[in-house]
Amino acid sequence: MRITIPPSKRRERLIVAVDFGTTFSGCAVAYSGDPESADEIQVVKNWPGSNGITSDKVPSELVYETPTQVSGIKRDSSGEPINNTKIRWGLEIKPDETRLRCLKLRLDPRQKLPDYVSEDELCKELKKSGKTAEEAISDYLTEIYRRAKEALVKRFTQHMVSTTVIEVVLTVPAIWTDAAKDATLRAAERAGMGPNLYMISEPEAAAIYALKSMGQKQKLLQVGDNFIVCDCGGGTVDLISFEIKSLSPLRLEESATGTGALCGGVFLNIRFRNLVESRMGAEAFKELCERKPKCMNVAMNEFENYVKRNFDPLDSHTAYDGNNFNIPFPGASENAAMGIDSGFFILSTAEVAEIFRPLVGSVIDLVERQRIMLASHDKTAKGVILVGGFGQSNFLYRSLKQRFADEDPPPTYTRLNESPEPESDSEKPRFIIMQPENSWTAVVRGAVLSNLEDKMVLSRKARRHYGMKCSQTFDPAKHSYRHRYIDGITKEVRASSQMTWHVKKNQNMPVKEVSTLSFHIDLKMDEPYPDTYSVTILVSDEDIAPQEYSSTAGLRNLCEVEANIKKVPRRNFKKKTKNGVSYRRLDFAIGMQVDASGLVFDLRVNGTVYGTIRATYE
């Protein structure tokens, strides 16, 4: 993965931040010569097909439309067919049209599509358009980027945009694999967002915005405080914890390894659809969707834009209020048993609460796990900050408040062998639940801020172990005899299939501190110098990483890094003699840096860096 780390001092530049989401996407723009405060950053609100209605985000959907040619296929001067496929995206798509959606999840093979998105239908639409998922995402990002540049021109003039460097900050989920992040980077590069392209994890960007915004308006923050930022997006819910090391300027350290899960707002839509199907019966529901495809799309839009965002039942410890939600259901026949009345699908407050219940429960569990994770590092969370589309939900906010802030004050987590003086309940600080003013655009605003001010995050936690397979001098007390072999050059007795770990899970990773993975190449005296050398980086998500390589040991190949050895002066190949055999050896290292979004590699020999290396992910 090739990700350039922004230097601390740069010339003036225009900044475009893009938050490509599972269900909705957004972008923001800024000028480094005249930066705004966190809540005044310009978020793009005007989108094609909006009919003048502004929105902070636009649906992450697109349609490929091939116009019918009455007079035949147009060809260029060489006789090749001219590609006249038209792209309609976001708000330009009609409610009853089949569209490509949730494409973001296709960048990470581990993620499953929501139930309401047919895998077969998506593949069929991609095949019909002649596009891969990555190419379709590139086309969508191209349109987003075009809209962002139009916003820059309107605000700063075409001349300034043409003569000023544009830097793009792209956000990615923290729970994604490094391979998925690399695929996102390739899609953005294809969309024309390079060469000044940076990446940042979504929860880190949200944390930067939230803490910046709170610091400007409130007196809640103190040096030493630990806050959990919970980014509840459309598909993923990402959590990250930061300790405040300085308020002015704002400086943060990641204080516990982040967690996350697929329990975002899009899964509320799935549960709503499942409820409708359950009420109607599978056959009747299928018949309606085939006969009136627009019906369910209209109902889903109403649920998305009104019910989800406004569900906030009256307080009661024993029962929900008796209010109903009337969701437009055009084309459906009257049926009191199904709750269909006068063209509306009737939802009770209790039914909507049941739609929310398991997802709210998942978010509560994630917050509790993050509090426990902080406790393992001798830290106590002061509160949680909710951001993201689902994070705007008043029902989610009040559910968290009821679970954490309205209960007895939470304990101050300590090691089991410590015995602190007991505090009275009035002295114990309560766990705070907060929703920043612009929670839906927190990620994209934070992405802009991360570019405007360098070094806000001083260190991060490694989310997994990083290492490589190697051989070691054979030790019968340590190694299995099945791995014993004689080295073909040095004639030394070695043990194969051993693991060496250069970055440990939960390890503190100071920003711009490079971990080095040491290697060597042995050559016979008459053997030619190699041009390249490939290394496979492995990862383990286990708490304790295995010391011996095994296909069943919870290990997986992360990527292959190919170093350009031709750049290394031949004098660095040193003559060695062992067991009476002479050979040449090159000792070198691959530098690895874990940054806000992924990995950066370079080649090092005797302390000299011989260029960056781009990894090939599996």
pLDDT of 143 = 96
pLDDT of 420 = 43
* 215-251 CB burial, b ≥16 within 10 A, e <16: beeeeeeeeebbbbbbbbbbbbbbbbbbbbeeeeebb
Kindly indicate the confidence band of residue 541, based on its pLDDT and cuts at 50, 70 and 90: confident
**Window from 35-44, 101-110, 600-609 with minimum mean pLDDT:** 101-110
Q: Please say whether the beta carbons of 464 and 484 come within 8 A.
A: no
Mean pLDDT of 54-78: 76
Mean pLDDT of 447-457: 90
Mean pLDDT of 575-603: 86
pLDDT of 10 = 63
Strand order in the sheet with 484-486: 484-486, 493-503, 465-473, 532-540, 555-564, 615-617
Mean pLDDT of 522-550: 91
Mean pLDDT of 137-142: 96
414 pLDDT above the threshold of 70: no
pLDDT of 418 = 39
Residue 477: count other Cβ atoms within 10 Å of its Cβ.
4
- Residues in CB range of 445: below 8 A, 6 or more apart: 17, 28, 38, 39, 41, 43, 205, 209, 438
Higher local confidence (pLDDT), 217 or 523: 523
Interatomic CA distance for residues 229 and 306, integer angstroms: 25
pLDDT of 83 = 61
Interatomic CA distance for residues 382 and 380, integer angstroms: 6
Mean pLDDT of 295-299: 89
pTM value is 0.83
- Structure confidence by residue, pLDDT tens digits, 225-238: 999 999 998 888 99
Q: Please say whether the beta carbons of 258 and 241 come within 8 A.
A: yes
| Cα within 13 Å of Cα(476), Cβ side | 0
Interatomic CA distance for residues 518 and 605, integer angstroms: 10
pLDDT of 477 = 92
pLDDT of 81 = 61
Residue 507 φ/ψ, nearest 5 degrees: -70, 140
Q: Where are the alpha helices (H) located in 116-265, listed in sequence order?
A: 119-129, 133-156, 158-163, 178-190, 202-217
| Separation of CA 142 from chain center | 19
Map out the domains of the chain with their CATH numbers.
Answer: 14-68+81-201 (3.30.420.40), 462-617 (2.60.34)
Q: Please say whether the beta carbons of 614 and 530 come within 8 A.
A: no
Q: Please say whether the beta carbons of 244 and 232 come within 8 A.
A: no
Q: Are strands 14-19 and 166-172 parallel, antiparallel or unpaired?
A: parallel
Mean pLDDT of 254-270: 90
Distances (CA, A) of 253 to 284, 446, 456: 55, 16, 9
412 pLDDT above the threshold of 50: no
pLDDT of 406 = 59
- Residues in CB range of 130: below 8 A, 6 or more apart: none
Kindly indicate the confidence band of residue 290, based on its pLDDT and cuts at 50, 70 and 90: confident
Mean pLDDT of 210-217: 80
Q: Please say whether the beta carbons of 443 and 209 come within 8 A.
A: yes
> DSSP character for 195?
S
Mean pLDDT of 144-150: 96
pLDDT of 152 = 96
Mean pLDDT of 175-181: 83
> DSSP character for 548?
B
Residue 124: count other Cβ atoms within 10 Å of its Cβ.
12
The amino acid at residue 580 is G
Kindly indicate the confidence band of residue 157, based on its pLDDT and cuts at 50, 70 and 90: very high
Q: Please say whether the beta carbons of 454 and 7 come within 8 A.
A: yes
Interatomic CA distance for residues 136 and 126, integer angstroms: 8
Mean pLDDT of 38-63: 94
- Structure confidence by residue, pLDDT tens digits, 456-494: 999 988 888 999 899 999 999 999 999 999 998 888 999
Task: Give me the chain's average pLDDT, please.
Answer: 86
Residue 334 φ/ψ, nearest 5 degrees: -60, 135
Kindly indicate the confidence band of residue 422, based on its pLDDT and cuts at 50, 70 and 90: very low
